Every structure is written in C-alpha cells, then in structure tokens.
Amino acid sequence: MSRLCKEPSADGPIIIYLPRGPLAPPESFPLSSLSLSSGCTVVRLNYRLSARYPFPTPIHDVLAGYDWIRKHLSREADALSESSHSSGLAKLGVCGELIGGSLASMLALTECHATRQGITAAGIGNPIADWTLISFEGQNAHPVHPPSVQHPDTIMKRLNIPTAFPTFEGIPTSESLLSLRDSIFPKAENYFDPFASPSLFFRTPTFDLPSYSATLPYDASTQKFQESEDDISPTLVKNRRSHRKYPPLSSQLRLPNMRIEVGNGNSNVLKQQGLEFVELLRRSVDLWESEEWQGLREKDGNNRVELVKRPKSGLWGNKEILEVGTWFAGAIRDRL
C-alpha cells in the first residue's frame, strides 16, 4: 500500500483502490478526490503484476491486502462478534478500473459477507470480466497457452533469461489485451479461473480449455524452441453458455451495491464484456437472493447494480472519480 487518504477511524468507511494496471497510462486524478467526494478513507493497494509476477499473484496480493486492512484499519469493528448484524461493522468498499476493475470485482464477489465485515459497495470501470473471450472476439482465433505446458516466460525465468513485459500508452485494444495476456497468464487455466475472469462466477465459459495436438520442445543450449512440422494450433471447442448459481445458497454471501462503468465508444473492446457483466449481476440479484434473503424487494437487480455509460473509452479522470466518490457516499452505507 502506497497511500492513505484521510486518517481512518475504527468504524469509519474505507474504500480500497486498485490501480488500473499497464493497459493504459497511470491515473491522472489524485486519490484525495475520491476520499473527499465519498467521505471515506481511501487505501491504495499496489498489487504485483508482471511477467515475473503473473497471475495468480495479483489475486493473492489483493486478498492479503484486504485481510491486512480489516485487521489494522478497522480493529474495533473487526473485534465485534462475527454473529453481529453487518450494520454494526465498519463499511468496506472497493474501486478500480481495467485490471484493477477485474480484481475489484473478484474481491467484491467473494468477500461480500452479510453477517460479518465484508465489501458493501464496489465502483468498477471497464473491467476485464472474461479473459477467455479476448482471443475469439475477432474473426481469427489467436493462439492460447496449452493448459498442461509451461509458458515460455516461465521456462526463461528459471533459466535466468530476461523476459519482456509489455506496456501500453493508449486505450486498450484487442492486440494489447492479447499481448498482455500472453505475459501475465502462465497457463490457459489461469484465465479460465473465475477469480481472474469474474463473469465465470455466473456462467460457464464459451469455450473449453484449449487442447493441443503437439508442443514445441525447448532446447536450453540454444535457448530456443525447436521447430516442428506438427500442428500445434489449439483445438477450440465452443459450448453453449449455461448460467451458474452464484452466490451459492447458504454461503452467507450477498452481492454488494455495485456501479459498473463502461466506455460507450465503438472502439472500446471491453464494452460488451462490461454490459454482459451487468446483466449477469442483475440476474443473480433477481433470481437467487430472494430464495436466501427474505423480505427483500423482488427484482432489485437494477437498483443494486447500476450501469453508467461513459463517452469514448470511459477511462476515469478527476471529474469521473468525483462522481464515483459521490456514489460511494451513499452506496457504501446503504447496505441492508
């Protein structure tokens, strides 16, 4: 953690901010804007992400940071009985865009405990909700990593061979997403994990894990992969998507108040993912929560999951983060 905006009180609301990652230039707004507009303490949590620290390292870092915040920044509330109603606990929120938005979604969906301290609100911008779709959104399928073979970067790291990590200066494109995915996911199953692709908490993947007919052997003496005439293209099996029931009944998880922002420009390759993610979240609230939580209004998904369409790329600046903070001011405290 590199920055703490506003001295925290033991029972005051806290927003965990997750940086956007390497897909776009660094944030241009000060975190004090988020703190002032929300009235919350804001903690920036810097997770590790590079070819040296690929997934699932960022997931582990975020979960470890979340546990540290609960232990050290809300000690008085954390000491309350686990059986106490959540209204007596310090409120926690999470915020981020792009890769930070994906990780914020993961944290919000897995730590939204209703009977003990958990995430009560999540403000998310342009999340990468399903890494498995990126290869298949264009006309041509791009190669994906075989699930049982180590990524070349993993091999090179063990041989102490430097690995390059891509950085991008503009808004995300299909090419930049693919390039980044090749660097930060050692195996295909890493991005088929719902903790990395949060839409998969709510539905099955469109494609099965890819299978390969052959793999290229690595020659350590030449530090190259040997050529082969065998076909090593992935075999992709497309499936009909089916819904998953999430959160599971009797899990004591209840989806937090959520605000999902997407760039509405035609060139935004994450637009459709964001729109689908909102529909999945709303469907979960409407269909499953009424079975577990009695007394809630029926069809509450549109109220609990807000969709905001931003012009063009939709990346946050100071104006946008002030609006997100204003939303947090009510949403983080408005948990039944």
* 77-102: pLDDT as tens digits: 444 444 444 455 679 999 999 999 99
Q: At what angle do helices 31-38 and 318-331 cross, to 10 degrees?
A: 30
Q: Which two tokens stand for residue 159?
A: 């041989």
Residue 277 has pLDDT above 60, yes or no: yes
219 compared with 275, residue with greater pLDDT: 275
Mean pLDDT value across the chain: 80
DSSP H helices in 159-241: 174-184, 188-191
Largest CA distance in the chain: 68
What is the pLDDT at residue 312? 92
What is the pLDDT at residue 149? 41
CA angle, residues 233, 173, 259, in degrees to nearest 5: 115
As a whole number of angstroms, the distance between CA 65 and CA 110 comes to 14
Q: SS3 of 119, please?
A: strand
CA angle, residues 76, 82, 87, in degrees to nearest 5: 70
Model confidence, pTM: 0.82
As a whole number of angstroms, the distance between CA 30 and CA 159 comes to 41
Average pLDDT over residues 278-303: 77
Write out pLDDT tens, residues 212-262.
544 555 555 665 545 554 545 556 677 788 999 999 988 889 999 999 999
Q: Percent of the chain at pLDDT above 90?
A: 54
Q: Fill in the DSSP letter of residue 141.
A: P
Q: Cβ(155)–Cβ(218) under 8 Å?
A: yes
